[in-house]
Copies of this chain bind each other. A is one copy, B any other.
Amino acid sequence: MPSTPRPARTSYHHGALREALLDGARELLAEGGADSFSLSALARRLGVSTAAPYRHFADKDALVDELCGEGYREFGRALTQAASSTTDARERLDALGVAYLRFAREHPAVFGIMFTDRGPAVLASGVPTFEVLVDAVVAAQDAGALPPGADPRVLARTVWATLHGLAVLGRRGGFTKLAIDDDEARLVADALALLTR
C-alpha cells in the first residue's frame, strides 16, 4: 500500500518510477522474502522494461540499500515512540525491547536485510537507532536499575545484543523447537530481569 497513489501509466514515460520501484520492492519483499526478490520481477510487475530501474538506481544493491535506510528510519521511529510511552526508566527498557521484537516480527524481510552484510553506509544509518537505547540506559542508571558506575555505551551494547539475539533467534521459531517459545513481552521481561536489578 503506497502512501501516494501511483498515477496510471498513460504514455511512454512512467512518471514516478523511482517511488513505484521502492513501493513495489517493499511489496515483493513482504510477499516472498529476501531471496525471491528480483529486479526483473519488479520491473515486470510495474510494466516497465528490465532496464528501466537502472535510470533510478545504480544497481540492485543501491535499491536495497535505500530500503534498508527507510527501514532504519522507521525502526528508529518505533523505538523512539516506545521510549516516550512511559516516564518510568525501568519500564522504558521493557517498552524498547518489545518494540524491537515487534518490528522484527512485523517487518521480517526488511529486518533481515537491515542486519545482513550490507555496505558501511547502511551500518552508519543504524547509529541513531542505537542512541535511543543509550539514552534509556542512562535514565535507568539514574533510576538505580542499572549499575551507575558503568559506561552507558557498554551497557547499551549488552542490552542491544540481548534484544537483537532474541529478535533473530525468535524470528523463525528458533525457540519453538526448544519448547521455550514465549510471547514477546515475556521474552523481553525474562531477559531484562536478568540484566537489571
Contact = CB atoms under 8 A, between A and B. Distances in A.
A154 B190 contact: yes
Interface string A64-104: 00000000000000000000000000000000000000000
A112 B116 contact: yes
A178 B155 contact: no
Given A162-B165, A165-B162, A165-B165, A157 B177 contact: no
A62 interface: no
A126 B177 CA distance: 9
Contacts of A151: 180
A180 B157 contact: yes
A158 to B, nearest CB: 4
18 contacts: A115-B168, A115-B169, A116-B116, A126-B177, A151-B180, A154-B180, A154-B190, A157-B190, A158-B194, A160-B169, A161-B162, A161-B163, A161-B191, A163-B165, A164-B164, A164-B169, A165-B166, A194-B195
Interface of A: 33, 112, 115-117, 120, 123-124, 126-127, 130, 146-147, 151, 153-155, 157-158, 160-166, 168-169, 171-175, 177-180, 187, 190-191, 194-195
